Amino acid sequence: MTRFAFDIHATDGKARTGTIRMMRGDIRTPAFMPVGTAATVKAMKMEDVRASGADIILGNTYHLMLRPGAERVARLGGLHKFGGWERPILTDSGGYQVMSLSDLRKITEEGVTFASHLDGSRHLLSPERSMEIQRLLGSDIVMCFDECPRADQPRDVIARSMEMSMRWARRSRDAFNAGGEHAERSALFGIQQGALDEGLRKASADALTDIGFDGYAIGGLAVGEGQEAMFATLDFAPEQLPADRPRYLMGVGKPDDLVGAVERGVDMFDCVLPTRSGRNGQAFTWHGPLNMRNARHAEDTGPLDERCPCPTCTKYSRAYLHHLHKSGEMLGAMLLTEHNLWFYQQLMAGMRAAIAEGRFTAFAADFRRDYLAR
């Protein structure tokens, strides 16, 4: 069986569609990975996540190492068995959460010492420990350990951070390679850093390419810089990475972010937005997002989105969904989350088909016309 392979089936401008082949199944690209932070995609059963069209989900190293603990997950048969998802899982390295969630942290060349946001206990997360945790979880796509500085930091601060992340990437590669059987069936992705700076991004891409990875992520975006700045960076960053490997934009994003990033050559995405928004009463539709708490839905007998074939849209009215969210009923969060995941997967499928048929420019224009009209 194939450990990891990436086949590009068609291109249209910079946009690509293809297939990542792994032992636990194929991943169609462009791909959106629902986020399963703590071994669950919130408000969803795993079979329903799969029914939405997802080929792969994301798990979170930081949260799982703190609760229930990576060693416990390993004793219970690994993350796939524990959470009931038998297809590929990508795990992030934990670095971003350490930087964003831990008030008490100290960054050194060795790694990051931090206090748990749960109970204040102290931990060291290093490249080696991150690789060990992801191995214990049984991850299929392992992410290098890196630091993700804010984009508004001075250039010299971002440069030093990027250079340390590249040293950590080498250590991650070495620790992953020492993982025995896990390394023989899993893949390792490097993470490009450098914020919004083209020169720093190029230096990072060159360092990662020299080390050699199965795929390459574009890190350090979607951290508050805004869509215009993100797209300006994506105008050059993906092409700095090897063309024959998957390119993964971490933590993105809104539906119009996804379309713009695919236009610029990105193949993989993850974001909490469809699930978090679903819990908070927001639904994504082909005609833009809807706030289901809004009174205008109170007596609307129509579906969320007439173009959507998901179970929520085919069985329930806007009026009922409005009632659930106004009443604080948990079913409201479940139904909107299900719809949002279906919508994201339909969007990815639509982009794959448009690229394959050489009509992606028209698809993107039609999408933006309808989605951004309101």
Q: Which of 92, 197, 257, 305 is catalytic?
A: 92
CA distance 273 to 201: 26
Interatomic CA distance for residues 253 and 167, integer angstroms: 28
Token readout for 142 is 């392992």
Q: Which residue has the tokens 């050489």?
A: 358
> Residues 286, 264: contact at Cβ < 8 Å?
no
End-to-end CA distance of the chain: 48
* Residue of 140, 197, 257, 270 with catalytic role: 270
Nearest one of 83, 58, 84 to 68, comparing CA atoms: 83
Residue 169 makes CB contacts below 8 A (sequence gap 6+) with: 127, 144, 145, 146, 190, 191, 207, 208, 211
206 is catalytic: no
Helix (H) or strand (E) holding 357: none
Q: Within 13 Å and on the Cβ side, how many CA atoms surround 53?
A: 23
Tokens of residue 34, six digits: 């629902």
* Mode of pairing for the β-strands spanning 31-36 and 57-60: parallel
Active site residue 214: no
Whether residue 72 contacts residue 98, with contact meaning beta carbons closer than 8 Å, is answered with no
* 8-state DSSP, 144: P
Active site residues: 92, 270
